[in-house]
Amino acid sequence: MLGFPTPYPEELLYSTIARAGVHAGETSPKRLLDQVFANRKVIATVDLPCHVQALTEQYPEILDLDTQKLISRHTLLPVYAPFLPSERIAKLKQWMVEKSQGATHLASGIAASRVKAKSRLYVCVECLKEQKYRYGECYWQRLWQIPLVKTCPRHGPLNATNIELDGEHRHRFVPVEEAEILSPVDVVAIDNVFSLQAAQLLVVTSNGVSFNQWTSFYKEFANNFGFMNGPKIDHAKIHATVVQFWGATWHKGTGLSPSNTDTSWLKALFRKHRKSFSFAEHIVAVSALSNGALSISDVIARTSSLAENSEPKSQFYNHELCAENQMDEDQVQWNGLLKLNSPKSARQQYPALYARLYRNHHDWLLTIDGFSHSDSVAVNKRVDWEARDRLIARELRYKYEQLSKDLNAPQLSRTFLTHQLDQRATVEKNLYRLPRCSKLLGLYSENTTEYQARRLVRAYLEMKEHHQEIRRWSLLRRAGLSDERMTDSVVELLKEILIEQT
């Protein structure tokens, strides 16, 4: 694509592509995808976009804009990278350079996180004025789209826009100028503390921090800031401090309100790390326990410098090669029990034997038990899928009856029809359990020919109602069709309409 714009400071790649469409005067989202990516199936992703290699090919070498620079300076990966292992970051970057089929949001933890991504685009009105004055145009800035960020550190509350990210137009890159700016979001004073901390993540350089390093840091952190009860971490004091610092008003709606149960994310943060925690969880804990004195960038720098204390891997034993004359009496007895019982049943019958083996032959015990485990088949009986299928199918029929009467409705694709349902996520993920819904979606969804024919009929009726002269070119323009894209059946329909007018 000729004249592809260079990203402005802190501009999202989503915004750069949207500006490219404006500069080229391209009004068709699909044609813009063709020109930029040579692929009409690319989804307009704000936080962790893929196909970055196609964008680097738009720039001359003299600009020195490679994929790594575009990812680190113009996506939200720096927000998540410091809290992920290095090998996972490398995989994420590889997917972002090429394509991921949704794997980036799974591997980064965004899809399963209690901190949900923003469902629409946000702006800072004062920042937009500065952009307009300095560059002559506006763009979407990275900080505005970070989850839970509600304020601009320099100007105050952000404003929501009408651009929803989970709508049916998921292939469209929308420029700022086309967005309707809504009222400012409701904020409290502590929101600015979170925004300042989150803004630091955009400038932190990190190749990832291991789970062992995070475990070591939080043990050291709790000890240095007085959150120990003897040799143990004082979880009750940590919980009370976090709740008091951030306040109930801020916690409401964030998904980060810590519970007093053993499965609380706040307790898990100060135990051995076996999974990644979100950037927001780290910010909430560090800011509260240091009373705002410790920045997240300092935390990442300190954690990265800690020694990597990897635990030794257990030795693997092949119980089939372990002769009985090499076993002690307990091992022989346990081996005989497993021939007749499952490991769980044997443990319940002989708990003392199991305890001795666990102390004296731990690795052998886990290995031999692993060979005896039977595959469990989980059957989800919590949901009556037949009843739910009937209920959703009834709703789908009602929605279709309303939409089918509207000639101005968008194409009634399977995706569009699914998005009209109250439980669209349930339908998308469990369609194989909903045969009635699946059948109705197949019957109700419009193919390309049916949609083009409806657009042509709609344009014809509108022109006839306004007593406009109906010519071939004017009818095609009103319908938004062209000779290159029309199917054969629609071409025949167009001929019949024009013959009727002569």
In this structure, the answer to whether residues 430 and 456 fall within a common structural domain is no
Q: Is 416 exposed, middle or buried (0-12, 13-18, 19+ CB in 10 A)?
A: middle
pLDDT of amino acid 443: 92
pLDDT of amino acid 3: 81
Exposure b/e, 443-474, CB count within 10 A at least 16 = b? ebbbeeeebbbbbbebbbeebeeeeeebeeee
pLDDT of amino acid 336: 87
pLDDT of amino acid 319: 44
pLDDT of amino acid 322: 53
Residue length of the chain:
502
pTM: 0.67
pLDDT of amino acid 324: 54
For the chain, first and last CA: distance in Å? 43
Higher pLDDT, 176 or 369: 176
pLDDT of amino acid 383: 84
pLDDT of amino acid 379: 64
In this structure, the answer to whether residues 54 and 151 fall within a common structural domain is yes
User: Rounded to an integer, what distance in angstroms lies between the CA atom of residue 187 and that of residue 214?
Assistant: 31
pLDDT of amino acid 7: 94
pLDDT of amino acid 376: 61
3-state secondary structure of 122: strand
Q: Please state, rounded to an integer, the average pLDDT across all residues of the chain.
A: 88
In this structure, the answer to whether residues 30 and 89 fall within a common structural domain is yes
In this structure, the answer to whether residues 111 and 173 fall within a common structural domain is yes
Tell whether 191 is covered by a domain: no
Higher pLDDT, 275 or 319: 275
The residue-averaged pLDDT of 5-19 equals: 94
Q: Which of 92, 10, 103, 112 shows the shortest CA–CA distance to 52?
A: 92
Tell whether 476 is covered by a domain: yes
Tell whether the model's pLDDT for residue 169 goes beyond 80: no
pLDDT of amino acid 316: 41
Q: What is the DSSP string of 148-170?
A: T--EETTTEE-EEEEEETTSS-T
Q: Which pLDDT band, with edges at 50, 70 and 90, does 262 fall under? A: confident
Residue 433: alpha-carbon gap to chain centroid: 25
Tell whether the model's pLDDT for residue 146 goes beyond 50: yes
Q: Which of 135, 141, 130 shows the shortest CA–CA distance to 179?
A: 141
Tell whether the model's pLDDT for residue 91 goes beyond 70: yes
The residue-averaged pLDDT of 415-423 equals: 90
For the chain, give the percent of residues with pLDDT over 90.
51
pLDDT of amino acid 338: 87
In this structure, the answer to whether residues 122 and 240 fall within a common structural domain is no
Tell whether 100 is covered by a domain: yes
pLDDT of amino acid 317: 44
Tell whether 130 is covered by a domain: yes
Tell whether 4 is covered by a domain: no
For the chain, give the percent of residues with pLDDT over 70.
94
In this structure, the answer to whether residues 441 and 415 fall within a common structural domain is yes
Q: Range of 178's domain?
A: 13-186
Total domain count for the chain? 5
Helices 29-37 and 13-23 cross at an angle (nearest 10°) of: 110
pLDDT per residue over 108-117, tens digit each?
888 888 888 8
Least confident range of 28-32, 371-375, 382-386, 445-449: 371-375
In this structure, the answer to whether residues 40 and 152 fall within a common structural domain is yes
Tell whether the model's pLDDT for residue 374 goes beyond 90: no
User: Rounded to an integer, what distance in angstroms lies between the CA atom of residue 155 and that of residue 148?
Assistant: 17
Tell whether the model's pLDDT for residue 4 goes beyond 60: yes
Tell whether 480 is covered by a domain: yes
User: Rounded to an integer, what distance in angstroms lies between the CA atom of residue 84 and that of residue 78?
Assistant: 10
pLDDT of amino acid 366: 86
Tell whether the model's pLDDT for residue 357 goes beyond 70: yes
In this structure, the answer to whether residues 414 and 456 fall within a common structural domain is no
Higher pLDDT, 208 or 374: 208
Q: Which pLDDT band, with edges at 50, 70 and 90, does 468 fall under? A: confident
In 4-152, where do the E strands start and end? 120-123, 151-152
Tell whether the model's pLDDT for residue 23 goes beyond 70: yes
Q: Which pLDDT band, with edges at 50, 70 and 90, does 315 fall under? A: very low
Tell whether the model's pLDDT for residue 320 goes beyond 70: no
In this structure, the answer to whether residues 33 and 171 fall within a common structural domain is yes
The residue-averaged pLDDT of 380-401 equals: 89
pLDDT per residue over 44-86, tens digit each?
999 999 999 999 999 888 888 899 999 999 999 999 999 999 9
Tell whether 8 is covered by a domain: no
Tell whether the model's pLDDT for residue 145 goes beyond 90: yes
In this structure, the answer to whether residues 153 and 289 fall within a common structural domain is no
Amino acid letter for position 8: Y
In this structure, the answer to whether residues 51 and 176 fall within a common structural domain is yes
The residue-averaged pLDDT of 8-19 equals: 95
The residue-averaged pLDDT of 422-443 equals: 91
Tell whether 2 is covered by a domain: no
In this structure, the answer to whether residues 257 and 288 fall within a common structural domain is yes
